[in-house]
Structure 1
Amino acid sequence: MGISLGRSHVLSDWDPEDTVAWEAGNKKIARRNLIWSVAAEHIGFSIWSIWSVMVLFMPASVYGFSAGDKFLLGATATLVGGCLRFPYTFATARFGGRNWTIFSAFVLLIPTVGTMLLLAHPGLPLWPYLVCAALAGLGGGNFASSMTNINAFYPQRLKGWALAVNAGGGNLGVPVVQLVGLLVIATAGNRQPYWVCAIYLVLLAIAGIGAAIYMDNLQQYRIEMRTMRAVLSEPHTWVIALLYIGTFGSFIGFSFAFGQVLQMNFVASGQSAAQASLHAAQIAFLGPLLGSLSRVYGGKLADRIGGGRVTLAVFCSMILAAGILVSASAFGGHAHGRTSAATMAGYVIGFVALFVLSGIGNGSVYKMIPSIFEARSHRLQVSEGERRQWSRSMSGALIGFAGAVGALGGVGVNLALRQSYLHSGTATAAFWAFMLVYVGASALTWAIYVRRPLEVTAPVEPGAQISAGLARV
């Protein structure tokens, strides 16, 4: 295989399934692109979730925003980030992985500077904050472009690991920005949020420059619109997307909401706003951190025993974790209007368990995607090269689409919590809703991917013929 790697940073005739070329040097090229893809996606996640930190710097007495307003900020950022994942899916194939990574890093300078300016001028109405939160959603789109790019670099036998590392490294952007916020609160107080943004201005510049120097474009990698149409006509696309709502939707939704829920309960326990912000920040990062790390383990576990089985175990366990939150909220009790220590412990245990489980589920669900199309591709009446290209393109398209739909689950989490607090002053109703979602996801996973082998019979491209067969995911 010939590889052209010059000043243009273009790789021609890239075939990750060529084991000789892989061991001869292609694995080093893939690893280099993975490292900088993770770096850029990581910082994109941080900017996407930066308002989960900023709300801790926004006491109602200064900014005038209610808890519902702050949940709306999180929902806005999550919604835009989720919607942008669909076009970002095509971006690396259209413009090149290196080129798009450079652009996606530098464009995030806009919401980062905007956040600094808004936090420096309290008293403004809500809408400028919503606009800035929407622009921060650009960071959420980075996930889809990064995942589709790395999917094309790695062979089938390593996709579960590579996609899990890429996604897990990106997800770590959520706890890291919360840790940065904690350090700022602990050292400069909760009235100095500008340092958080200043740090990320530097990191964005490093990510963009690093991508320009070290990343490459794949010349022959394409995701055509007809491929996306074929993916959207595939029933498993919608099943995977629904399952990803339950896993990643939970992760990103709780990442935005966890700190705020803790802060409100610390205030209800009698702490001042400054103390509540500090104590919430000290705990809030823990859930997203463990959830990000567990995603890698979920991918490796799915490589060994199958994504369907791991995903089913995850959802069944999430039902129990949501039950802890329901119990803590409904039966923990508020002595004289104050949140009890037992209730706070229940919140922390329940949320952390959900973070860890959703991380494992993120890895296992994404492992299922290339497995589905790899199984189907062997039944195409095409050449080996066309088979592999079809499998990569279909997997890449579904990765982006599932990522977009899954992120919308985070919107639902924030809106459910907002409505629950507005209606009853507690999150009990929202926690019940989360539990019911996990029950439905468990039933769906068992019925389609565990109870019986995956059926692969439908034609997926014009002219392509697939014979009937069975495979396990």
Structure 2
Amino acid sequence: MTTRPLSRRTRRWIEDWRPEDAEFWESTGARIARRNLLWSIFAEHLGFSVWLIWSVSSAFLASVGFDFTPQQLFFLVAIPSLVGALLRLPYTFAVPRFGGRNWTIFSALALLVPTVGYAVAVTHASTPYWVFCVIAAFSGVGGGNFASSMTNINFFFPAAKKGTALGLNAAGGNLGVAVIQFLLPVIVGGAGIFGLVKASGSGIHLERAAYVYGALCLIAVLAASRWMDNLAVAKSSPREQLSVMRNKHTWLMSIIYIGTFGSFMGYSSAMPLLIKLNFWVAAPAPLGTGIYFAYFAFLGAGVGSLARPLGGWLADKYGGAKVTLYSIIGIIVFTLAVVWTLGQLTANPTADPAIATANTSWFPWFLAFFLLIFAATGVGNGAAYKMIPAIWRRDAERATTPGTVEREQAVATATKQSSAALGIVGAMGALGGFLIPVTFSSPWVHNPLAATKGALVGFVVYYAVCAVVCWAFYLRKRAVRAHELADVRI
């Protein structure tokens, strides 16, 4: 195939984009795609950090003069996930409408709203709870960034490289959770870094985190403006995008993704509070007794984030459905192991230091099993997102003849529709980030430990449903025979 010169509508609009053309990809496309991927990762990373800033800040609120109940705190960390899930649909549709580069600039600017609000709220001890809820809701704009970023990157890469590219893009964003949970305690003076940096002697200053991330958001705006591109081929009408909602695979993959990504987000949001409520008490001051959450809460999100590109790579190599199923089975096994560990703990409603000390001996088991859950969710996230473009491409190839114009057009349409599906499935998956913390805070259960165990058992039942759906529709023999009609590995 003859390589046509790369044409642009303006300096940052690319008219001619053919990633499936091997010559075009090697000579021109790969370099541009990788550059856009790099800055997409950076902007999405900041979005996740702002989205999850309350997950770790909530555990510090009591230290700066706010007296909220565990139920209020769990609900506070859940609100951003709900708003982020709802925003993922319009963010998905915004990329074809405004361009990936343009929307990245806007979405990075939008992050300044919750960061400024956060800085104001935490510096006034009289700030009421409802104001915190409103600001936490605005943090949900960071969750929308994921959908627009993944939709944008899906257009840049050829089918054979989508799993790895989407996995890297998502992992860079997901790492924003681990980074904010690791660095925020250090930035605000609430903790050191394993003795290398000491906690501040002047108290905790939560507003510092807002200043740091506000500055980083401005850097993201400038970087996107300078080094990212819009793709003219990414254009599609809202009707064309919404048509994927009539496709059964959109909803089947949503069920699965709630189990994988929903678990990653939900457990990441709840982890600091779970550790604090079950393994640490403030007395005796000033150091407290038990396990201090700031040293360990970030590990889960870090493991899950780093495992995500591995899931994408494994999916490219062995098939997304197979890798997704095995990851879900792993989530089930390790969640049951966490339930067993929690069964060894003693409830501590009076914050007794002696009980906290006794429970501490079980913390290594709790942490190890939870890290394995996070690893399984990361692999499952990467594999499930590989499945989505593969499913739509498979259906396009089954309906057309190789080497024809109809095949080329069908594949282009499938790319647009799968990008819309990525946003819808991502939105549904993000709902898990809301449902899991809310379930942990069950107001009808007075004992937080009992609420946590009951919630995890309920989650295991849902994971079993996810496993059945994955097997029945994408791995069962009859389903596999149908897939073999096209040369696409799901």
1:232 maps to 2:251: no
**1:378-415 deviation per Cα after TM superposition (whole angstroms, max 9, x unaligned):** 13346243122111111101100000000001111011
Tell me the secondary structure at the aligned position of residue 192 of structure 1. Answer: coil
Is the CA contact 1:164–1:295 (under 8 Å) kept in the aligned structure 2? Answer: yes
| Structure 2 unaligned residues grouped into runs of 5+ | 192-198, 349-353
Shift of 1:208: 0.6
**2:195 matched to which residue of 1?**
none
Q: Give me the whole-angstrom Cα distance separating, in 2, the residues matched to 1:58 and 1:266.
A: 18
Which of 419, 426, 440 is residue 396 of structure 1 equivalent to? Answer: 419
1:281 maps to 2:294: yes
Q: Give me the whole-angstrom Cα distance separating, in 2, the residues matched to 1:439 and 1:279.
A: 33
**2:337 matched to which residue of 1?**
324
1:440 maps to 2:469: no
RMSD after superposition: 2.4
Is the CA contact 2:385–2:422 (under 8 Å) kept in the aligned structure 1? Answer: yes
Instruction: For 1:329, give the aligned amino acid.
Output: L
Change (3 A) 1:265 1:421: farther
Tell me the secondary structure at the aligned position of residue 383 of structure 1. Answer: helix
Change (3 A) 1:5 1:224: closer
**1:155 matched to which residue of 2?**
158
Change (3 A) 1:374 1:297: same
Change (3 A) 1:273 1:148: farther
Tell me the secondary structure at the aligned position of residue 340 of structure 1. Answer: helix
1:107 maps to 2:110: yes
1:349 maps to 2:368: yes
**1:320-378 deviation per Cα after TM superposition (whole angstroms, max 9, x unaligned):** 11112211222333596435123322321222111111000000000100110111111
Q: Give me the whole-angstrom Cα distance separating, in 1, the residues matched to 2:233 and 2:359.
A: 60
Residues 226-265 of structure 1: matches in 2 within 5 Å? 226-265=239-278
**1:363 matched to which residue of 2?**
382
Q: Give me the whole-angstrom Cα distance separating, in 1, the residues matched to 2:219 and 2:479.
A: 44
Q: Give me the whole-angstrom Cα distance separating, in 1, the residues matched to 2:410 and 2:290.
A: 54
Is the CA contact 1:259–1:284 (under 8 Å) kept in the aligned structure 2? Answer: yes
Tell me the secondary structure at the aligned position of residue 403 of structure 1. Answer: helix
Q: Give me the whole-angstrom Cα distance separating, in 1, the residues matched to 2:174 and 2:138.
A: 19
Shift of 1:471: 6.3
Residues 138-177 of structure 1: matches in 2 within 5 Å? 138-177=141-180
Shift of 1:259: 0.7
Change (3 A) 1:429 1:278: closer
**1:132 matched to which residue of 2?**
135
**2:49 matched to which residue of 1?**
46
Shift of 1:195: 1.5
Shift of 1:99: 0.4
Instruction: For 1:292, give the aligned amino acid.
Output: S
1:266 maps to 2:279: yes
**2:194 matched to which residue of 1?**
none
Q: Give me the whole-angstrom Cα distance separating, in 1, the residues matched to 2:143 and 2:29.
A: 29
**1:430 matched to which residue of 2?**
455
1:383 maps to 2:406: yes
Q: Give me the whole-angstrom Cα distance separating, in 2, the residues matched to 1:260 and 1:274.
A: 17
Change (3 A) 1:269 1:180: closer
Runs of 4+ in 1 over 6 A off after TM superposition: 455-458, 467-471
Change (3 A) 1:378 1:398: same
Shift of 1:422: 4.0
Q: Which moved more, 1:62-71 or 1:276-285?
A: 276-285
Change (3 A) 1:6 1:374: closer
Change (3 A) 1:99 1:273: farther
Shift of 1:434: 1.6
Which of 417, 437, 451 is residue 414 of structure 1 equivalent to? Answer: 437
| Structure 1 unaligned residues grouped into runs of 5+ | 459-466
TM-score by length of 2: 0.90
Change (3 A) 1:19 1:468: closer
Instruction: For 1:93, give the aligned amino acid.
Output: P
1:3 maps to 2:6: yes
The sequence identity of aligned pairs, in percent, is 38
Q: Which moved more, 1:69-78 or 1:418-427?
A: 418-427
Is the CA contact 1:454–1:470 (under 8 Å) kept in the aligned structure 2? Answer: no
Residues 28-43 of structure 1: matches in 2 within 5 Å? 28-43=31-46
Instruction: For 2:274, give the aligned amino acid.
Output: V
Q: Which moved more, 1:216-225 or 1:129-138?
A: 216-225
Q: Give me the whole-angstrom Cα distance separating, in 1, the residues matched to 2:266 and 2:286.
A: 23
1:188 maps to 2:207: no
Q: Give me the whole-angstrom Cα distance separating, in 2, the residues matched to 1:237 and 1:91.
A: 19
Instruction: For 1:402, give the aligned amino acid.
Output: V
TM-score by length of 1: 0.93
Instruction: For 1:386, give the aligned amino acid.
Output: Q
Which of 308, 319, 325 is residue 295 of structure 1 equivalent to? Answer: 308
Is the CA contact 1:45–1:139 (under 8 Å) kept in the aligned structure 2? Answer: yes
**1:373 matched to which residue of 2?**
392
Instruction: For 1:440, give the aligned amino acid.
Output: V
Instruction: For 1:318, give the aligned amino acid.
Output: I
Tell me the secondary structure at the aligned position of residue 191 of structure 1. Answer: coil
**1:309 matched to which residue of 2?**
322
